[in-house]
Structure 1
C-alpha cells in the first residue's frame, strides 16, 4: 500500500520566518526513514500504512508543541492499495506522457 501525505505544519506565533521549526520536522522525517519531498508550500511523504503517516503528523506536532502556542496544519492524503513508490512513479508517469506529446 502507498500512503502519500502532503502536509504543512508550522507555528503561527513565531513571526514571518518559521524555517527553524520546519527544519525540526524535516530532520525528524529523515530520521524516521520516510521517503519525502520538501516543497516551498509543504512536505510530501510516502509511507506503507496510514498509521505510519499519522504517527509522523503526531511527532511533528510534538516537536512544535513545547515552544509554540499556536500551530497551523494542513493535510491531504492519497491512499492506494497494491502500489508502492507512488511519490516518484506519479511524476515519472506524467513526464513520460509529456515526452510522448512533444515528439
Structure 2
C-alpha cells in the first residue's frame, strides 16, 4: 500500500483554480477502492500504487477537458513494503511523540 500526495494545477487560467480541483475530486470520488484527504495545498491518496497512478492520470486530464492548455501535476510517493502504511498510521506515529 502506498500514500501519494498529488497537486494538479492548470496554468494560465487565472488566480483561482478551486473549480478545477473540485472537478478532479469528482474523479477521485468514483475510485471507491482508494482513501483520500483533501488538504489546503494538495490531495493525499492511500491505496494500491498502480491504481492510484491510474486515477491520477484521469485527474490530470480534467483541466484539459475544461479548456486548460497547460497542466502541472506534482506527485510525491511514500511506498513502504516492510509494513502496512496508512495516512492515519503516519499521523498517529507523530502524535504519540508529541
Tell me the TM-score normalised to structure 1 length: 0.85
1:45-74 CA distance string (max 9 Å, x none): 0112x2111101111112222221010111
The aligned residue for residue 86 of structure 1 is 86
- Normalising by structure 2, what TM-score? 0.89
Deviation at 1:93, TM superposition (A): 1.1
Structure 1: gaps (5+ residues): 99-103
CA RMSD of aligned residues (A): 1.3
Spell out, residue by residue over 1:74-95, the C-alpha distance to the aligned partner (whole angstroms, 9 max, x if none).
Answer: 1100001254351110001111
- Count the aligned residue pairs: 96
Rg (Cα) greater in structure? 1
| C-alpha displacement of 1:13 | 1.7
Runs of 4+ with deviation above 3 angstroms = 82-85
- d(CA) in 2 for partners of 1:95, 1:43: 21
Query: Unaligned stretches of 5+ in structure 2?
Result: none
